[in-house]
Amino acid sequence: MGTMSNDTLLEVKHVSVDYGAGDGAVHAVTDVSFTLRRGEILGLAGESGSGKSTLAYAVSRLLRPPALITGGQAIYYPRERDDETDGAASISKIPGLSGVRGEGPVDLFELSEDELRAFRWNDLAVVFQSAMNALNPVMTIGAQITDVLRTHRPHMPAPARKERAIELLRLVGIAPDRLGSYPHELSGGMRQRATIAIALALSPDLIIMDEPTTALDVVVQREILTEIMNLREKLHFAVIFITHDLSLLLEIADKVAIMYAGRLVEQASHYDLYKHARHPYSYGLMNSFPTLHGPRRTGIGIPGSPPDLRDVPPGCAFHPRCPFAFEPCKTVLPLLHPAVPGSDQQVACHLYDAQYRATPPTTEEIAARYEAIAEGSAVR
């Protein structure tokens, strides 16, 4: 954490978000930190209510009351002006200085209303979960692209705006004659492509994608993912990809962060996570999806359900559901630390703390324990 190298794009430090205040406050996100590098895809995974969307919306400053950011910073490192020339090779440059670029790091939580408006879409765009609901039903696709340009590039002439809209549609694989179509005239997949085109309108450095493929069938889902990967390849934007589908993240994300009850419980490269998920929760989440290929095995599930965020269990929030829970889990809050010395893989679990347990469990051990539970419940 805290790498100040040149390619850092976003540094989220100790962010907490509450819904409501006082005794009834729901602590949706608690003390979350992570770093995102330029062009990197960070996968944010967890069950419903784990705080993953809240965290992403906090970073984009889109939370609305009663949600309240109660602490932390989100430091954004704008692109150097000189960098403007490279990078977006296959998409035409869009004239005009944008957002907060070239002015040094800024804390997104400190931006004024006007700065925020300039920052939005110029630097950070959002692709929402359901494209049907995210597109204005009474405006054509073209108008929904050009109104971004009209707001952020007021000097751009109308023909140029249209040109740009056509270019963007082509980029995401939509025929330019769809410019005048309304959202309801497009298929689900096309709508999601259109929202991606809108997101790319100002060549942002960061795109938050909130379950962009959840509402689509698997074939279209695959197409959209491939599209996102290709576009990232061409345009070098970074992505915060939110999903509950961990197997999908393992495929596309460079780095995966797993949330439970508002906290990060594990953060690792997709490879490390795939090979050896350290946190018992991560392992359970990852293996709760049956695989199509590979050996037959007992389907496992995580027993119980996520905690009530108004009343999170003390110590490790996962301990009531954890097959490995032991004494310290009930009282001491585990913090993120390297799973094994010198590793990038960080885990918030006492199993990997030499103070509590001499040798951390192996992946086989975790698997065996979960399978035992699964068998047990099958017998019952």
Q: Which residues in this chain contact other proteins in the complex, by CB under 8 A?
A: 60, 62, 116-122, 125-126, 128-130, 133-139, 147-148, 151-152, 182, 184-185, 195, 198
Residue 131 C-beta: closest distance to other proteins, Å = 9
The DSSP string of 169-183 is HHHTT--GGGGG--G
Residue 191 C-beta: closest distance to other proteins, Å = 11
Complete edge-to-edge strand list for the sheet that includes strand 124-127: 124-127, 206-210, 238-243, 41-45, 255-260, 263-269, 346-347, 337-338
Counting Cα atoms < 13 Å in the Cβ hemisphere of 348 gives 24
Residue 232 CA to residue 218 CA, distance in Å, equals 21
Residue 139 CA to residue 231 CA, distance in Å, equals 25
Question: What letter represents residue 16's amino acid?
Answer: S
Q: Which is nearer to other proteins, 122 or 203 (CB)?
A: 122
Give the residue among 7, 60, 11 at the shortest CA–CA distance from 37: 7
Residue 111 C-beta: closest distance to other proteins, Å = 11
Residue 79 C-beta: closest distance to other proteins, Å = 17
Give the residue among 94, 233, 110, 214 at the shortest CA–CA distance from 164: 94
Q: Which is nearer to other proteins, 148 or 302 (CB)?
A: 148
Q: Which is nearer to other proteins, 147 or 254 (CB)?
A: 147
Residue 367 C-beta: closest distance to other proteins, Å = 39
Residue 233 C-beta: closest distance to other proteins, Å = 24
Residue 62 C-beta: closest distance to other proteins, Å = 6
Residues 6 or more apart whose CB falls under 8 angstroms from that of 100 comprise 76, 78, 106, 111, 115, 118, 119, 122, 123
Q: Which is nearer to other proteins, 16 or 146 (CB)?
A: 146
Tokens of 104: 């040094």
Residue 68 C-beta: closest distance to other proteins, Å = 15
Residue 20 C-beta: closest distance to other proteins, Å = 14
Q: Which is nearer to other proteins, 50 or 140 (CB)?
A: 140
Counting Cα atoms < 13 Å in the Cβ hemisphere of 346 gives 18
Q: Which is nearer to other proteins, 202 or 300 (CB)?
A: 202
Q: Which is nearer to other proteins, 134 or 300 (CB)?
A: 134
Q: Which is nearer to other proteins, 89 or 138 (CB)?
A: 138
The DSSP string of 315-345 is SSTTGGG-TT--HHHHHSPP--EESSTT-S-
Tokens of 22: 């006082």
| Contact (CB, 8 A) for 206 and 124 | yes
Q: Which is nearer to other proteins, 151 or 362 (CB)?
A: 151
Q: Is 173 exposed, middle or buried (0-12, 13-18, 19+ CB in 10 A)?
A: middle
Give the residue among 323, 371, 312 at the shortest CA–CA distance from 351: 323
Residues 6 or more apart whose CB falls under 8 angstroms from that of 105 comprise 75, 76, 77, 78
Q: Which is nearer to other proteins, 30 or 122 (CB)?
A: 122
Residue 346 CA to residue 363 CA, distance in Å, equals 15
| Contact (CB, 8 A) for 194 and 131 | yes
Residue 89 C-beta: closest distance to other proteins, Å = 25
